[in-house]
Structure 1
Amino acid sequence: MKKLNSEGEGKVVKQAEPISPLEEEKLWETDVFANTSKSQTQDAIVKVLREYMESIPLGGLFYRRPLSSRDGENVRYSHQKVGVHTFEKLFKKICDKADITGHHTGHSGKVTTATRLFHNKVDEQLVQERTGHRSLAVRAYKRTSKTQQKKISDLLQPPKPKESKIEPKTSPPRSPVATCTLPD
């Protein structure tokens, strides 16, 4: 059994699921990000991201661990990155608050980006650049949508029988007793 497991037999690999457009709408509709309208929330996110980019040192890691500020106003960030487990817990809290089920992890953002780009027929190399992949591993994010699955299912259905436009011939009604004439 150990040998089979080491070869990958019998293992089910859990992969992060992308956030569907309906789930994303749930995130915007709930007060997960803020108790404001969608456009106000997006503006706030852009503002926070801009401030964050200005406050972290150039180069190196993007996700920095926040430090408590000395004066209570200026936010500072460590040279350490945010831990994977911290990010996973945050993402789980966000999904729980919006009542989103499924196997969503901190990696779901990357999966969602790649999947949406593939569904919109963006070239694979551009998807690779956007997600930061240097190999063809980005192909693992090609997930089929419900629309694509339905289209495939419809293509594989047997053809419908053609409706006949010719009216069936009707014969005159028969009498219950058959008559027969004999030659003389």
Structure 2
Amino acid sequence: MKRLTAKGLGTKTKQAEPITEESENTLWEKNMFGDSTSQSLLNTDFYYNCKLFGLRACDEHRSLQVEQIIVDKDQIGDYIEFRGTTAKNYNGGLYHRSVEAKNIRHHTTGDLPRLYNTYLSKIGNTGPFYRRPLPEKDNDNLRYSSQVIGVNKLKTLMKKMCESAGIEGYFTNHSGKRTCATRLYEEGIEEQEIMRITGHRSTKAVRKYKRPSQEMLSSIENVLDPPKKIKLAQNSEVITPSHPILNSRPHAVVNGILWQPPQQKQREVKTNMMVHGFEQPTVVSINVFKLEVVNQFTYRGSTIIDNLVYDAEINTRIVIARQPRQTDEKGMRL
């Protein structure tokens, strides 16, 4: 096993990718979601059962019953509710009497409750949730058989809808549950709340499902990328090692090119500078902003003069030392 690992075999596990927000919009635009056909309506309910309730790849979908999905309204608004029963990590036995079944109520203001109600009205009030879609007949484009979708067909639902929409990547039914955990992770939701929806009982297990978004990965890559070249100001020139300015002025050159450092947190911008030992006036610009030359300035509490005399700094210290100490009611120094 160690020899195979040393050769690079088995070091990378192939895992299903989450559905990004952009890809989800594509699925809607390509009519993979919606109620245009019986298959698109089935896809919609399947995907959002994964995303809203964190249902597992196949077992929880396979055992899902119509009675477990409730679409109703309360004082907050419309909601879709999932009432869990037994699951992979909850069998309802004596050992799990202290563990609660997963029950999630999701409030929404969108069109999702109507789509769920439409599907439920077509398949009836009892029995398995996922039924085999039928082709359009007599101007009825939403027809379903009483026959349950086969396990092999159910396992490939996510893959086929992504392929039909032209979305590239490795997608399985696990992508739905991973999408749920990843979206919540990106929004900064606490792990305990993510575990409540996904049904995980340990943080180690739920962390396997969380994936950074492409925006987060791009931010990391931008931080680690080499510094980017900046555009030189108009009428300026590239400084080379043989340039005369290097013999008379302070300089910072990397391979003869002026570089822009990576973006950092915003700091206080200095608008002036002080020079010493130059006969000709020194001109320094930052992003075409010319710094003002002064003969003295104060930096971090210390006063510096261009003739390098410490009189101003000493006088400042003497004035501070002569000031009376301020104390509180107990005589403690403030």
After TM superposition, the structure 1 = structure 2 runs for residues 2-151 of structure 1, keeping only pairs within 5 Å, are: 4-5=3-4, 10-11=9-10, 12-33=12-33, 34-35=35-36, 43-49=114-120, 54-56=125-127, 66=132, 76=146, 82-83=150-151, 85-135=152-202, 136-151=204-219
Q: Report how far residue 66 of structure 1 moved.
A: 5.0
Within 2, Cα distance between the matches of 1:29 and 1:22? 11
Contact 1:114–1:141 under 8 Å retained in 2: yes
Q: Report how far residue 122 of structure 1 moved.
A: 1.1
Within 2, Cα distance between the matches of 1:31 and 1:24? 11
Runs of at least 5 residues in structure 1 that lack an aligned partner in the other structure: 58-62, 173-184
CA spacing shift, 1:82–1:49, aligned 2, 3 Å: farther
Per-residue CA distance 1:35-66 (angstroms, 9 max, x = gap): 49x96677324531576583227xxxxx6565
CA spacing shift, 1:64–1:171, aligned 2, 3 Å: closer
Within 2, Cα distance between the matches of 1:125 and 1:47? 33
> SS where residue 25 of structure 1 aligns?
helix
Within 2, Cα distance between the matches of 1:74 and 1:141? 33
Between the two proteins, the alignment pairs up a number of residues equal to 158
| Structure (1 or 2) with the greater strand fraction | 2
> SS where residue 273 of structure 2 aligns?
coil
TM-score between the two structures when normalised by the length of structure 1 = 0.63
Contact 1:18–1:108 under 8 Å retained in 2: yes
Contact 1:67–1:77 under 8 Å retained in 2: no
Q: Give the number of the structure with larger relative contact order, counting CA–CA contacts within 8 Å between residues 6 or more apart.
A: 1
Structure 2 letter corresponding to 1:124: E
Within 1, Cα distance between the matches of 2:186 and 2:220? 15
Structure 2 letter corresponding to 1:76: S
CA spacing shift, 1:64–1:142, aligned 2, 3 Å: same
Within 1, Cα distance between the matches of 2:192 and 2:132? 34
CA spacing shift, 1:50–1:119, aligned 2, 3 Å: farther
Q: Report how far residue 23 of structure 1 moved.
A: 0.3
| Structure (1 or 2) with the greater helix fraction | 1
Of 143, 163, 166, the residue aligned with 2:273 is 166
Task: Give the % identical residues.
Answer: 33
Within 2, Cα distance between the matches of 1:118 and 1:6? 31
Q: Report how far residue 146 of structure 1 moved.
A: 2.7
Moved more, 42-51 or 136-145: 42-51
Contact 1:66–1:76 under 8 Å retained in 2: yes
Q: Report how far residue 92 of structure 1 moved.
A: 1.8
CA spacing shift, 1:29–1:42, aligned 2, 3 Å: farther
Structure 1 letter corresponding to 2:17: E
Within 2, Cα distance between the matches of 1:42 and 1:29? 19
TM-score between the two structures when normalised by the length of structure 2 = 0.38
Q: CA RMSD in A?
A: 4.1
